[in-house]
Structure 1
Amino acid sequence: MGSDAKVITAYPNFSPDKFEQKLPGRDLDMSPLAEHTKVERWHRGEPRLEEYVGSGKLRDKAALITGGDSGIGKTVAVFFAREGADITINYLPEEEDDAQNTKKLVEEAGKKCLLVPGDLRTQEFRESMIEKHMREYGALDILVNNASQQIQCQDLAEIDMNNVEDTFRCNIIQYIGVSKAALPHMKRGDVIINTTSVTAYKGSAGMLDYSATKGAITTFTKSLATQILPKGIRVVGVAPGPVYTPLQPASRPKEQMEDWSVGSSSLIHGRVAQPAELGESYVYCATSEILTGQVVHPNSGQYLV
């Protein structure tokens, strides 16, 4: 494993090894494993790790999280459960091992976790997923549109248009479709949280289509928030910066993963974020009753909005 003396962190796994995966990527195959439940706290210049402890902010709520088996989605599922919410997660069938691990963590928090594997690219499945959630819990207080894909290509002349179209289907189109299926079941005070990206704001030379979909998700967030404002249902976005998730080794060559961004002067702690460091942003979005049409930017200072 690589290391860099400039980086001061309590996370032992901050420096990725030289490895890659096939899409969609698996948490349990990360090298090293990512951190989903411990947050880094600083005190007088020294960092320490603490397990995230909830305080009942989401007591008696029911949340559905797409892509909840791994990465940011896994952390959101666990943090929401520790705040008192019952959970549904969606994932692809080949991610079953990751999903079972997420379910275990949610149940250890004393909450239910419904697993709904399937492909979000069809409206039929999106609607059946919402129906299964409603049969289990009878309410949909929080929807987190989080699942997405990215494929790197450094040259527009070489870009595969089939990949471009699929990235749009997997990202912005399914966000719209899932929201459409969910909205009839949501009531005043409920919230839709969309995962966008720092690339929506600063662009990405190597991921033209992905960054374009994230820009579209950002605009969709603002537009839907305006449309359903009279219903009292909030729509907010979270735009993470670089985060150590399975999407990264599944979308870039292994040579780019080793020591990925370690020592970067554009990141506040000189390293990419762990998924656990994003969880509190989602808890905030789920609980701030006057926040709507806005995007929260936990991006380590990579881009200042």
Structure 2
Amino acid sequence: MSDSTKDPRDAHRDEPMPPQRQDQPGKTDQTEPEPDHGESSYVGHGRLNGRKALITGGDSGIGRAVAIAFAREGADVALVHLPEEQDDADSTVDLIRQEDRTGLSIPGDLRDEEFATDAVRRARDELEGLDIVVLNAAYQHDIDSFDALRTEDMRRVFDTNLLGTLFTARAAYPDLEPGAAIIVTASIQAYQPSPGLIDYAMTKAAQVAFVKALAEEAGERGIRVNAVAPGPIWTPLIPATGWDADKLASFGKDTPLGRPAQPAELAGAYVHLASDESSYTSGAVLAVTGGKPL
């Protein structure tokens, strides 16, 4: 192995995650260990120079990693996030601005159709355009058994992951021009659903159907639509899911690489799908799962 080659089994932390619990939606500074979003490691190469991106759920976790990467590749970035995530969003905006790119925070709840529509308008107006839409916002919770699934929790999952995605995409779609890219954060749960995440897994399977259907229509306009399907990723959402100490300790250990990923390890997938490097890729689901098959 050369000095520049990393063994992917231990490229990041591989010891068990410590016991912890947070309330939804989860905060970065309360997550132990703090996730690696690529703050000190991601190196840009100008692949998105002049592009304008909107990232939902962009304050922390995968969204923050994508925001950092996009900014370092030359894009201006607007983040949509819940109001209670403002501290995380401010930190992410600061990281965007450190790259001499425009960074914008748009707080609100995408389950609200009016807000979702206005967030797209505001992003387009303040960035002076919009040609990358990353639909990343999501909610999940753990249940002990199917009969314990509460309607209010199920509705929040469906409304966030499905309606929020559709509201945002629908608002952005009419004004996207040829060369634009829509990227959805799906999940391995769409293909290997866990009983404890049954409602979340259902929404992720629906998102895959959304990507494949919209890609057919959007292709005629020169717009590409794709998804990234993450496996187990260490983000604030994980300790806020409701899992016990044993579940957290084993999180990601069942992958062929034997560990969960850090958000930084997904950023390159989004950059690839947003850039002209993937100009012939649409309707695809890119797996970033540590070797777990879709």
Counterpart code for 1:228 = A
Give 3-state SS (helix, strand or coil) of 1:64's partner.
strand
Which of 266, 271, 277 is residue 283 of structure 1 equivalent to? Answer: 271
Write the distance in 1 (CA, Å) between the matches of 2:14 and 2:64: 17
What is the aligned-residue identity percentage? 38
> For 1:234 and 1:60, how far apart are their aligned partners in 2?
18
Per the TM alignment, residue 11 of structure 1 is displaced from its structure 2 partner at its CA by: 2.9
| RMSD between superposed Cα atoms in Å | 1.6
Superposed, 1:1-305 pairs within 5 Å as 9-12=10-13, 15-37=16-38, 51-256=41-246, 258-261=248-251, 264=253, 266-287=254-275, 288-302=278-292, 304-305=293-294
Contact 1:19 1:257 in 2 (8 A): no
Write out per-residue CA displacement over residues 104-133 of structure 1, whole angstroms, 9 at most, x where no aligned residue: 111112211011000100110011101111
Report deviation, 1:276: 0.4
**Matched residue of 1:63: which SS?**
strand
Secondary structure (helix, strand or coil) at the match of 1:215 reads helix
- The unaligned stretches of length 5 or more in structure 1 are 1-6, 39-49
Specify whether residues 142 and 186 from structure 1 end up closer, same or farther in structure 2 by C-alpha distance, changes over 3 A only.
Answer: same
**Hey, what's the Cα distance between the residues in 2 that align with 1:8 and 1:193?**
27
State the shift of 1:209 in Å.
0.2
Q: Secondary structure at the match of 2:230?
A: coil
Equivalent residue letter for 1:206:
G
Q: CA deviation at 1:13?
A: 7.6
Task: Decide whether the 8 Å contact of 2:191 with 2:205 is kept in 1.
Answer: yes
8 Å contact kept, 2:257–2:291: no
1:258: Cα distance to partner? 4.2
Structure 2 counterpart of 1:192, one-letter code: I
Structure 2 counterpart of 1:61, which letter?
R
**Structure 2, gaps ≥5 residues long:** 1-7
Contact 1:62/1:142 (8 A) holds in 2: yes
Q: State the AA in 2 paired with 1:274.
A: Q
Alignment: residue pair count: 285
Query: 2 CA distance for matches of 1:209 and 1:10?
Result: 32
Displacement after TM superposition at 1:53 (Å): 0.6
Partner Cα distance (1:138, 1:112) in 2: 10
Offset at residue 86 of structure 1 (A): 0.3
